[in-house]
Copies of this chain bind each other. A is one copy, B any other.
Amino acid sequence: MSQPAAAPIMNKEVAPFANLPSMNNLFFQAKARKGLSFEAIAKHLGKDEVWVAAAFYGQAKFTEEELKKLSDLLGVSSSSAVAQIGDNWFPYRGTLVEFPPRDPVIYRLFEGISVYGTAIKAIINEKFGDGIMSLIDCKVTIDKKENPKGDRVILTFDGKFLPYAKW
């Protein structure tokens, strides 16, 4: 490897998670070494930045083409990437966050459901009928709205409504 002999950046520097595929750990380390933001990587891949971050955390699945592009960008072995987490690998989602979450950033999302969950259900039912907002066909975006009193985080879930089937 041609990187300078800087202190190695282990995955626990990134997040205290033990179960990621080893390829993903390499991605995190390379991203840190290269100083790339998810936004920059997402632009390079033509994907959304939240989705790319999710894929780094093993919560979404890169296509083999995306894996190759990403490996090239990060300077890691693309054949290893494809062999490990290519078409024959499927994410085992949802195991990173403990509930209730303790990190204050993630806890506030939990508080959002805890406080507003029943209201959100009531409005979805009133506006759409008996059914749910899909989390499978759902896009998550984060925007920054500048504001002199304090910038605002605009977090949006854009999910397909699925009505309960009749049978």
B-contacting residues of A (Cβ < 8 Å)? 6-7, 9-10, 12-17, 19-23, 32, 35, 37-39, 47-51, 53-54, 56-57, 59-61, 77, 79-81, 83-85, 88-128, 130-140, 142, 144-145, 147, 149-165, 167
Contact = CB atoms under 8 A, between A and B. Distances in A.
Contacts of A84: 7, 9, 13
Number of copies: 10
A88 B100 CA distance: 26
Given A133-B155, A167-B48, A59 B127 contact: no
B13 A85 contact: yes
A167 B145 contact: no
A43 to B, nearest CB: 13
A45 B23 CA distance: 32
A116 B131 CA distance: 16
Contacts of A121: 90, 92, 103, 105-106
A89 to B, nearest CB: 6
Contacts of A105: 120-121, 124-125, 131-133
B126 A153 contact: no
A85 to B, nearest CB: 6
